[in-house]
């Protein structure tokens, strides 16, 4: 399974494997530039924070300079993710194909990726030419300097995608895949007059069926959206493709999204310094002696660690190795531990800094401060629900030889963990209290984590830090490209007028706002299984949030419901990507874990229905 995203579904690649990758030698300068750009972005934002809050002399050009650097970072990072095969994709159905077909479908997926990129290159060049006549307000330079990142990134991605296709495919498979894609394109072009007459049916054909088929073929999600949207625009409308470039640019470039790569880097720092392990050890010393204590420790650790890393994979990889051996000794079945790990990670994804919440705030125009404040409370509701089930499950837990940790041990682990424990509350307090924006807090949090990591937790070597910067660039590029193509697809969907028709239908549902909430839960559960959180949010938020507003649903309340639903879907077998990652981290067969996870998912759904039915759980503390 390839992994990347929102959430940080990415696994580290050993250096010797990296060196063997197609294009990796070509990409070394690109990786270096990306690492430098990430440092520049953080430096610019820190300078802005100091100038604004310490010196009371805001520097007006910093946001523009950071925006330019950010788009270059996103596009170069997307190219690195192509090189490292780290773009998020669904490979479950590809793995079910017979061996003789699997290789061809894999080649077809690579050809589709290359086709999408090629279709965007010339419109991107035109977009850069148009941006030449637009001057930035503060730096007073042509905006084409910024937009050129789109062309450079697309060209690099095309070269790398073609390189992968040539090296990883047989000539007959490659030729057949190229002919098939070209033939389908020709048929679409010839049938354009017919498609123009179909109206809303084109949404089903291109934005549902084409995207779904690409997903099943293992095409990375960003390029599934790209292929469906390009085909929709080319074959069923008179809209020029250059419009999509503008929408992709807009989807990737919100200033709020500047915090995404910085929180991704924060998760890397957490892993490298052992700050998360310190929190786990403190929780174990505090609760490990009670019945179901290790389950409580696992859930509590996920809750607190998530508040630092913002990454489900980082959370699970930090907590599982530290707790699973003792849980096994106490008689917990491996399948039960994986079930608790996966659902605990889903529970913790509303704890700030959650990249999903940041993206949601950017796309739907919801207060980040409100989301962060509410997210803490909602995660605690789900934590209680899971803890109750864990206690019931632990009725026969073997507690032989388990003793309460001495007070001295508890105090010692608390002192070691205290600097790490402060961080999630610092982030939530600063953003929720309106002291600073999520972007500003992310830079402060990274600086704090690096300094504390160097001083108290063993430090980070220069080589390791450089690798973390490159990995952050790749993961951020993969995330942001999904956001860009999903934004283009969402725009295409809204331009048809379908969204207005859907809004009219939804507002007339019997049962009022709660019926709409139940429909939303089902929609986002399914999308969470298939697409993961970030693309589902970008795709559906522009459609669903206006309907929720018409029905009088508070935007924070609605946000908590759909994010929780998506997280449950992400961990729901047989499709949920997060479930398989949890199995991989815990070393347990998915077939074995699948039988154990349903009661835990049921507990989360009970918690979700409570959150949906009681708006005060989401809004009382705002």
Peptide bond into 593 cis (omega under 30): no
3-state secondary structure of 135: strand
Mean pLDDT, all residues of the chain: 84
Query: 398 or 618: whose pLDDT is higher?
Result: 618
**pLDDT of amino acid 561:** 94
Interval 9-32: pLDDT, tens: 333 333 333 344 444 677 889 999
Give the pair of three-digit tokens for residue 608.
């979700």
Q: Cβ distance 294 to 284 under 8 Å?
A: yes
User: Which residue reads 């959206």 in tokens?
Assistant: 225
Query: 351 or 564: whose pLDDT is higher?
Result: 564
Neighbours of 509 (CB within 10 A): 15
C-alpha dist (Å) from residue 433 to 406, 427, 438 = 37, 10, 11
Spacing of C-alpha 196 from chain mean position: 35
User: Quick one: pLDDT band at residue 93, thresholds 50, 70, 90?
Assistant: confident
User: Quick one: pLDDT band at residue 4, thresholds 50, 70, 90?
Assistant: very low
Whether the per-residue pLDDT at 122 is higher than 90: the answer is: yes
User: Quick one: pLDDT band at residue 6, thresholds 50, 70, 90?
Assistant: very low
DSSP letter string over 462-481? HHHHHHHHHHHHHHHHHHHH
**pLDDT of amino acid 310:** 58
Which residues are within 8 A (CB) of 14 and not within 5 positions of it... i.e. 6 or more apart? Answer: none
**pLDDT of amino acid 416:** 84
Interval 476-509: pLDDT, tens: 898 889 889 988 988 888 777 777 777 777 777 7
Radius of gyration (Cα) for the chain, nearest Å?
24
**pLDDT of amino acid 420:** 80
**pLDDT of amino acid 246:** 92
Lowest mean pLDDT among 21-25, 114-118, 168-172: 21-25
User: Quick one: pLDDT band at residue 1, thresholds 50, 70, 90?
Assistant: very low
Peptide bond into 218 cis (omega under 30): no
Interval 522-568: pLDDT, tens: 989 888 887 766 788 888 888 889 889 888 899 999 999 999 999 89
Neighbours of 238 (CB within 10 A): 7
Whether the per-residue pLDDT at 113 is higher than 90: the answer is: yes
| CA count, 13 A, side-chain hemisphere, 611 | 32
How far is residue 227's CA from residue 211's CA, in Å, rounded to a whole number?
7
Q: Which pairs count as long-range contacts for 433-440, CB under 8 Å and 24+ apart, including other chains?
A: 433/369, 434/369, 436/49, 436/53, 437/256, 437/259, 437/368, 438/256, 438/259, 438/353, 438/358, 438/361, 438/368, 438/372, 439/45, 439/255, 439/256, 439/258, 439/259, 439/262, 440/45, 440/48, 440/49
Give the pair of three-digit tokens for residue 220.
């990375």
Closest by CA to 229, choosing from 589, 510, 485, is 485
Which residues are within 8 A (CB) of 472 and not within 5 positions of it... i.e. 6 or more apart? Answer: 38, 261, 264, 265, 268
**pLDDT of amino acid 24:** 66
**pLDDT of amino acid 10:** 34
**pLDDT of amino acid 532:** 66
* Percent of the chain surpassing pLDDT 90: 30
Interval 251-271: pLDDT, tens: 888 778 888 888 888 878 877
């Amino acid at each position: 399974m390839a992994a990347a995203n929102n959430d940080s579904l990415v696994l580290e690649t050993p250096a010797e494997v990296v060196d063997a990758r197609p294009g990796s030698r070509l990409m070394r300068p690109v990786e270096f530039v990306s690492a430098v750009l990430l440092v520049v972005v953080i430096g610019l934002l820190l300078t802005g924070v100091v100038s604004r809050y310490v010196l009371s002399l805001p520097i007006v050009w910093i946001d523009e300079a950071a925006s330019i650097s950010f788009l270059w970072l996103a596009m170069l990072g997307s190219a690195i993710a192509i090189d490292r095969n780290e773009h998020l994709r669904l490979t479950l159905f590809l793995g079910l194909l017979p061996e003789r077909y699997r290789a061809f479908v894999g080649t077809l997926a690579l050809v589709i990726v290359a086709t999408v990129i090629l279709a965007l290159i010339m419109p991107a060049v035109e977009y850069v030419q148009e941006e030449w006549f637009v001057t930035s307000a503060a730096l007073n330079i042509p905006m084409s300097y910024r937009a050129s990142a789109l062309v450079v990134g697309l060209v690099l991605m095309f070269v790398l995608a073609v390189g992968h296709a040539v090296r990883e495919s047989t000539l007959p498979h490659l030729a057949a895949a190229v002919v098939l894609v070209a033939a389908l394109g020709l048929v679409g072009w010839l049938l354009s007059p017919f498609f123009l007459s179909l109206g809303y049916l084109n949404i089903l054909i291109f934005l549902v069926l084409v995207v779904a088929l690409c997903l099943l073929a293992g095409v990375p999600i960003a390029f599934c959206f790209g292929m469906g949207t390009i085909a929709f625009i080319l074959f069923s409308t008179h809209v020029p493709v250059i419009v999509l470039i503008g929408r992709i640019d807009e989807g990737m470039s919100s200033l709020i999204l500047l915090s995404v790569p910085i929180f991704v880097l924060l998760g890397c720092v957490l892993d490298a310094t052992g700050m998360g392990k310190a929190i786990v050890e403190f929780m174990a010393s505090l609760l490990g002696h009670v019945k179901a204590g290790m389950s409580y420790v696992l859930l509590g650790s996920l809750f607190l660690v998530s508040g630092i890393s913002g990454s489900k994979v980082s959370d699970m990889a930090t907590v599982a190795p530290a707790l699973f051996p003792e849980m096994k000794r106490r008689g917990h079945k491996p399948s039960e531990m994986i079930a608790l790990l996966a659902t605990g990670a889903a529970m913790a994804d509303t704890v700030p800094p959650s990249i999903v919440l940041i993206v949601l705030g950017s796309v739907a125009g919801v207060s980040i401060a409100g989301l962060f404040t509410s997210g803490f409370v909602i995660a605690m509701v789900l934590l209680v629900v899971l803890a109750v089930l864990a206690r019931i499950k632990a009725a026969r837990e073997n507690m032989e030889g388990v003793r309460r940790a001495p007070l001295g041990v508890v105090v010692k682990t608390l002192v070691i963990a205290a600097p790490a424990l402060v961080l999630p509350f610092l982030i939530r307090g600063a953003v929720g209290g309106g002291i600073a924006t999520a972007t500003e807090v992310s830079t402060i949090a990274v600086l704090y984590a690096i300094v504390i990591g160097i001083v108290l937790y063993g430090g980070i070597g220069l080589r390791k830090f450089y690798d973390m910067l490159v990995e952050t660039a790749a993961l951020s590029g993969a995330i942001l490209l999904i956001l860009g193509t999903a934004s283009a697809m969402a725009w295409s969907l809204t331009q048809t007028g379908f969204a207005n028709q859907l809004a009219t239908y939804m507002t007339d549902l019997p049962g009022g706002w709660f019926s709409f909430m139940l429909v939303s839960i089902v929609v986002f559960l399914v999308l969470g299984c298939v697409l993961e959180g970030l693309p589902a949010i970008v795709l559906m938020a522009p459609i669903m949030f206006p309907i929720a507003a018409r029905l009088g649903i508070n935007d924070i309340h609605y946000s908590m419901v759909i994010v929780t639903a998506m997280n449950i879907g992400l961990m729901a077998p047989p499709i949920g990507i997060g479930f398989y990652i949890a199995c991989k981290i815990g070393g347990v067969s998915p077939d074995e874990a699948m039988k154990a996870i349903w009661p835990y998912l049921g507990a989360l759904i009970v918690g979700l229905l409570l959150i949906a039915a009681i708006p005060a759980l989401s809004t009382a503390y705002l």
